[in-house]
Chains A and B, each alone.
Chain A
Amino acid sequence: MSQSGGGAKPRIGELLMGRGLISNDQLEQALLLQKLEGGRLGDIFLAKGWVSAVDFYDALTDHFRRGRIGDLLLERELITEKQLLEAVETQKHWGTRLGDIIQARGWVKPYVLGKTLSEHFEKPNVDLLRDRIDESLIDRDSLSIYSGNLFVPWRRQGGLLKVAVVDVNPQLLRMVDQLVGEPFDIVITSKFDIIWVLQEIGNQFYTEKSVHELANSKPEFSASEVFTAKQIIFLFIWMTFSVITVTIWPVNSLVLFNVLISVFLLLNFGLRIVLTWVGGDKHFDNLVTDEEVLAVDERSLPVYSILLPMYHEAATLPNIAQALRSIDYPLSKLDIKLILEHDDDETIDKAKELGLEGIFEIIRVPDSLPKTKPKACNYALHFCRGELATIYDGEDAPEPDQLKKAVIAFRKAPENTAVIQARLNYFNVAENWLTRMFTMEYSLWFDFYLPALDALRIPIPLGGTSNHFKMDVLREMEGWDPYNVTEDCDLGVRLTQAGYRVGVLNSTTFEEANNSIPNWIRQRSRWLKGYMQSYLVHMRSPIKLYGKLGFVGFWGFQFFIGGTIVSALLTPVMFFMYILWLGTSTTMFDPYFPPVVLYITLFNLLIANGFLIYLFMLSGFKRRYFSLIPWALTVPLYWLLQSWAGYKGFWQLIHNPFYWEKTHHGLTTFEVTHDMGAAAKSAARPAASGSGAKP
């Protein structure tokens, strides 16, 4: 198949004159110069500044280019005719450029495509690793723009600035024109060259931004300061006051303390009941229907950035790569960032070994403190090109239509919707007791609580992955707080405070549930520490917080975030007192439990705990994980584990607040899948399919 057109090529000078871009004198001067010094006429126009690169390349039609991309690739046998036909057909549906489609399919490598583009535009192809850039041309403040749009000033040749670009399109050229503010011409390079070079040059800039941007611009939201001076003073006064009152009125003070705890737990229970009821509405299961997904015009879909922060997860990389390839979204509109730590050679080597398609880009995060996931994501954010962005973990298996659903959900949502959280669940549900508990907990959280929080306009603590952002809002918020170990929770609250809406989505990402108690404790202690950080950050100015969130939002935050912390810390104390009383029939607690307090405590112990167990059952029932339901009766043991993690997190908050307790993934013997039918089968023969997770 040939794409080349027929007919005689008009001359470039005549064409530019015909468009009024140059005068006859200029043309004559240029021709004279060409005769004297050689070179291409177009380069002379650009060097003289008589015509801007934007106008120049806009005027250039395919007649001035050497064949079409597809033909060039075909001629060089880089693709087959069948592949070209398929790409052309795909182009009709996806509405993206042919080169992007071919690259996304992995038929040609980006640097090969770069060479072909050079031929096509008859521009030099440069290898930035060999032909180094002139760093004096770099504007450090514009590094994010370079990395976000894949261009970089390269060198000055013949007085004309040469800008290395990956693609040539009017929008990009206009941006370059505005930024460099002088006549320029382009050279072609590969996107990996640009990313590599910019990382090398801008390492310090990107790191500084990713670590300190939030703390510098909005210090009130940064967890870099664990306790503010005001909070320490308040704590001191409160503790002093407590000691004094307990000393003077020991019984009354402890009764009051008991009343506060009992009422808090009662209201906490009440909120969870309300959330379960509201979140259980069928409407939330049909926020975006399958029909809507089928009807979506793929040409209208935006570029989607997918952030994949990984650390020592070489084993899970092939799975997530495959999951992302299987996503029902135009691959050429995916901008996937493998965010890997500088010292993680194992995963970096694995990524290279896999020979991933051009849509995957490796972002190496340089070593700096704090070494946290949010910092890595902030770093990668500078390289993202999507209109929307999401995060997945290495062991994730999102439902294939999730990105489309997210786009539709954004279209249906109010304009101020900044992020939409998909549901999280687990594929290794039945692996052991812990995974069962974890699955029920997550089902309750994502299938009931979060939709209800959305409906009631209570700040939603985002989940660690599968949250879909509007990129401009995410950047406006300065990304994630690198000092907060539950940066997702914090960001959800920050967005609500900024007047944005956090929505939910009826699509699930299946993850690997922790199947080891020590590993689970590590993860949970980090989460609870992060909740404590988030609570302390947002409660620095409670009145301001109340003003921004309103009554329901404020108290919802207190009970949902604060309640989770308080419950975790109080559970063992209450259990201990109860067991002591039960085992010894002691009357020592009697004075501190006057009738009303006793009744509330009894209600909490019997009815509230009973119903909280029931909520776990409901979560299994709604997900149709029927076999989990009886296991819900053992959930009090899980609460004790949660308390253990809570105290560990509390201890760390004081001694090592920014330490990121790494959760080890890839421990499961179950197959990584979003297809729970397949998961059930693999559960029946875990040993046989164990290689699925660790190929």
Chain B
Amino acid sequence: MRQLVSRTGLEGKLFLALLVLMVTGVTIWLLAHGFMSDSAVSRWATVIAALGAEQVVLENFTFLAPHLPLYLLVPFYYIPGLDGGAAPYLLSIMASAVLLFLWGHHLKEVKLSQTRLALLGLLVVIHPGFLWAATSGSHIALSMVAFYLLYRASQHIISDHDIHSYISMAVTFVFFFFIDGSAVFIFVALIPLLVVIAPLRTIMVSPMGLYLIVGTPFAFAVATWAYLNWIFEGSFMHFIEHADSMFLGGMLHIQDYPWLLDFGGQFFKPLLAATGYLLIAYPVSVYLLLDTINNNYRFRASFVLLLHPLIAIAIATSQYYLTHPFEILALISAGLMAELTYVRMQTRREFAFLILFMVVSVVGGWWLFIETANPQMSQWVQALTGKQSPDSSLDGDLQVGLWLKKNPLPTLMYERTASRVIAARGNAEGLVLSFSHDFKSAMRERHPNVQQIAVPEPHSVAGRRDWLNIRYPHLYNHGMDGFRLVYDSLGWRVYRKIGA
């Protein structure tokens, strides 16, 4: 039992700090090898566009993506030296650091030795689910924190059934909704499982009471969002009707996502497929389920951990939302961390089995991640292995962004399809963007009264959705009276007012 000697807080924290440093190092490595996350670029562009506007108002952020990750990026905007777009990656690292330290704090309850903590921590972090979330600059790191808290709340409901656990679950769902569009599916997937989580007598007496306690804040959050959409955009449904909305997931671009092509609109098939994915990437979940079969409380928690993400994946796929199962599957890493805070690894044998299954999970996870990777994930794996990403001089968005940076005249452009351009420009000062009054008045004019207009090639994916192309269909090819072409490269053209 020498292994179970309680570690001091400092040693544990030092090790967790080392893990965070490792995650930071991996991120720097990835960025140095040309990895660029679309999600990170898009969020950063939204933030700099919103904050660089003449009047900083809420609607600048648009209501087409959850706001919390954007608000968390706001302080970075004011930190010198971060205009190159590193902020979303930094935020992901910070979120994973919070998660790790929270986990370390909760692990004190199971009195792990230093060696065991190190081993577990390492195996958690090197799982592709965790590493991808922590280093890709996406919102998934924040989702993992939310999922961890959610799962802890579930465990507390099972074991303690106190009011704090219900409040935690309900409030976490609210935050989750403002972090990640998939929170709706995660919430819906938990509804049938509440029967497993909550005490039987409560369910028997008042199931409605239980669901209202867990679900009302979430319902209020969704209603609040709809209301804000109505206030600022004129429609309660704006956030699920607008083509650029993140809340639609892959719905309008099914052809771009093999997962949706194979399983979109169905429930049971993606459920089966996700089960297969889980068995490969997280067999440790199955081990924990079997290991806890004699412990009613823990078995229920393990059962939820196993089933909940699968149902969420199936529902999200049935609604054509989920573009890749790893978007939700990666959250199991957080759930697993929460589960481990309840596992009392009494014997060496128990711990050895756990480690074994975690190692298998890591190996299986990497294999699955690489095998099923979407282009973004592939780029991440490539960068991780040290292969340089394609030459940035061939990136049209990047090049026009850099050009606009050197030519900082007031420029009319539609930012929702040009986030990479804005991110490359580094700020939005002088840009006339779609949420601004000037943009709206310009769109009402036959000849907009602006210094410059940047427009993408109308037959490209971005070009087809660009409002400027829709309003002025001949602009890209034929220009506009009073404007001359000053930039034409890699699918972008910039027209400048004659005399400007």
Chain A residues with CB under 8 A of B212? 617, 629-630
**Chain A minimum-CB-distance residue to B211:** A629
Decide if A599 touches B208 in the complex (CB within 8 Å): no
Chain B residues with CB under 8 A of A624? 205
Chain A residues with CB under 8 A of B57? 595
Within 8 A of B (CB), among A621-658: 621-622, 624, 626-627, 629-630
Within 8 Å by CB of B209, from A595, A606, A611, A629, lies A629
Chain B residues with CB under 8 A of A620? 209
**Chain B minimum-CB-distance residue to A448:** B163
Chain A residues with CB under 8 A of B167? 276-277, 280, 618
Decide if A611 touches B217 in the complex (CB within 8 Å): yes
Decide if B164 touches A281 in the complex (CB within 8 Å): yes
Is B288 in contact with chain A by the CB < 8 A criterion? no
Decide if A621 touches B163 in the complex (CB within 8 Å): yes
Decide if B163 touches A606 in the complex (CB within 8 Å): no
Chain A residues with CB under 8 A of B163? 280, 282, 618, 621-622
Given contacts A618-B167, A618-B213, A622-B163, contact A629 B208 (CB under 8 A): yes
CA–CA, A76 and B3, complex, Å: 80
- Digitize B216-252: 1 where CB-to-A-CB distance is under 8 Å, 0 elsewhere: 1100100110011001000000000000000000000
CA–CA, A622 and B210, complex, Å: 11
Is A455 in contact with chain B by the CB < 8 A criterion? no
CA–CA, A627 and B55, complex, Å: 48
Within 8 Å by CB of B220, from A277, A602, A610, A629, lies A610
Decide if A626 touches B205 in the complex (CB within 8 Å): yes
Given contacts A621-B209, A630-B212, contact A607 B220 (CB under 8 A): yes
Chain A residues with CB under 8 A of B209? 620-621, 626-627, 629-630
Is B166 in contact with chain A by the CB < 8 A criterion? yes
Is B170 in contact with chain A by the CB < 8 A criterion? yes
Chain A residues with CB under 8 A of B216? 610, 613-614, 617
**Chain B minimum-CB-distance residue to A282:** B162
CA–CA, A621 and B216, complex, Å: 13
CA–CA, A613 and B205, complex, Å: 22
Chain B residues with CB under 8 A of A613? 216, 220
Decide if A610 touches B217 in the complex (CB within 8 Å): yes
- Digitize A577-617: 1 where CB-to-B-CB distance is under 8 Å, 0 elsewhere: 00000000000000000010001001000110011011001
Chain A contributes a number of interface residues (CB within 8 A of B) equal to 24
Chain A residues with CB under 8 A of B56? 595
- Digitize B157-172: 1 where CB-to-A-CB distance is under 8 Å, 0 elsewhere: 0001011101100100
Is B407 in contact with chain A by the CB < 8 A criterion? no
CA–CA, A287 and B220, complex, Å: 34
Decide if B162 touches A595 in the complex (CB within 8 Å): no
Min CB gap A152→B, angstroms: 54
CA–CA, A622 and B165, complex, Å: 12
Decide if A614 touches B220 in the complex (CB within 8 Å): yes
Decide if B206 touches A626 in the complex (CB within 8 Å): yes
Decide if B162 touches A621 in the complex (CB within 8 Å): no
Given contacts A595-B57, A621-B163, A629-B209, contact A614 B231 (CB under 8 A): no
Chain B residues with CB under 8 A of A606? 220, 223-224, 227-228
**Chain B minimum-CB-distance residue to A279:** B163
Chain B contributes a number of interface residues (CB within 8 A of A) equal to 27
- Report which residue of A602, A613, A621, A622 has the largest number of chain B beta carbons within 10 angstroms of its beta carbon: A621
Decide if A621 touches B166 in the complex (CB within 8 Å): yes
CA–CA, A140 and B228, complex, Å: 72
CA–CA, A277 and B223, complex, Å: 24
Decide if B58 touches A621 in the complex (CB within 8 Å): no
Min CB gap A612→B, angstroms: 11
CA–CA, A281 and B213, complex, Å: 17
CA–CA, A607 and B210, complex, Å: 21
Min CB gap B466→A, angstroms: 28
Chain B residues with CB under 8 A of A595? 55-58
Min CB gap B197→A, angstroms: 15
Min CB gap A594→B, angstroms: 10
Within 8 A of B (CB), among A85-143: none
CA–CA, A610 and B224, complex, Å: 9
Min CB gap A448→B, angstroms: 8
Chain B residues with CB under 8 A of A629? 206, 208-209, 212-213
**Chain A minimum-CB-distance residue to B209:** A626
Chain A residues with CB under 8 A of B213? 617-618, 621, 629
- Digitize A261-292: 1 where CB-to-B-CB distance is under 8 Å, 0 elsewhere: 00000000000000011001110000000000
Decide if B217 touches A282 in the complex (CB within 8 Å): no
- Digitize B19-57: 1 where CB-to-A-CB distance is under 8 Å, 0 elsewhere: 000000000000000000000000000000000000111
- Report which residue of B163, B164, B212, B231 has the largest number of chain A beta carbons within 10 angstroms of its beta carbon: B163
Decide if A607 touches B224 in the complex (CB within 8 Å): yes
Chain A residues with CB under 8 A of B217? 610-611, 614
Min CB gap B63→A, angstroms: 13
Chain B residues with CB under 8 A of A622? 163
CA–CA, A7 and B162, complex, Å: 67
Chain B residues with CB under 8 A of A618? 163, 166-167, 213
**Chain A minimum-CB-distance residue to B219:** A610
Min CB gap B344→A, angstroms: 22
CA–CA, A602 and B228, complex, Å: 9
Min CB gap B317→A, angstroms: 31
Within 8 Å by CB of B170, from A280, A602, A614, lies A614
CA–CA, A606 and B219, complex, Å: 12
CA–CA, A401 and B163, complex, Å: 25
Within 8 Å by CB of B164, from A280, A611, A626, A627, lies A280
CA–CA, A622 and B216, complex, Å: 16
**Chain B minimum-CB-distance residue to A447:** B163
Within 8 A of B (CB), among A552-575: none
Chain A residues with CB under 8 A of B58? 595, 599
Min CB gap B78→A, angstroms: 17
**Chain B minimum-CB-distance residue to A620:** B209
Chain B residues with CB under 8 A of A277? 164, 167
Chain B residues with CB under 8 A of A627? 206, 209
Chain B residues with CB under 8 A of A630? 208-209, 212
Min CB gap A483→B, angstroms: 39
Within 8 A of A (CB), among B164-189: 164, 166-167, 170
Min CB gap A688→B, angstroms: 24
Chain B residues with CB under 8 A of A614? 170, 216-217, 220
CA–CA, A607 and B220, complex, Å: 7
Chain A residues with CB under 8 A of B231? 602
Chain B residues with CB under 8 A of A599? 58
**Chain A minimum-CB-distance residue to B58:** A599
Within 8 A of A (CB), among B39-91: 55-58
Min CB gap A248→B, angstroms: 26
CA–CA, A277 and B165, complex, Å: 10
CA–CA, A622 and B163, complex, Å: 7
CA–CA, A40 and B205, complex, Å: 76
Within 8 Å by CB of B160, from A282, A617, A621, lies A282
Min CB gap A413→B, angstroms: 23
Min CB gap A590→B, angstroms: 12
Min CB gap B68→A, angstroms: 13
Chain A residues with CB under 8 A of B205? 624, 626
Min CB gap B12→A, angstroms: 26
Min CB gap A151→B, angstroms: 52
Within 8 Å by CB of B162, from A280, A607, A610, A611, lies A280
Q: Lowest 8 A-B CB distances belong to which pairs?
A: A626-B206, A626-B209, A610-B220, A606-B224, A280-B163, A629-B209, A282-B162, A629-B212
Q: 8 A-B pairs, CB-CB below 8 angstroms?
A: A282-B160, A282-B162, A282-B164, A610-B217, A614-B216, A621-B163, A624-B205, A629-B213
Interface residues of A (CB under 8 A from B): 276-277, 280-282, 595, 599, 602, 606-607, 610-611, 613-614, 617-618, 620-622, 624, 626-627, 629-630
Given A599-B58, A602-B228, 4 new contacts (CB under 8 A) = A610-B224, A614-B216, A614-B217, A617-B213
Interface residues of B (CB under 8 A from A): 55-58, 160, 162-164, 166-167, 170, 202, 205-206, 208-210, 212-213, 216-217, 220, 223-224, 227-228, 231
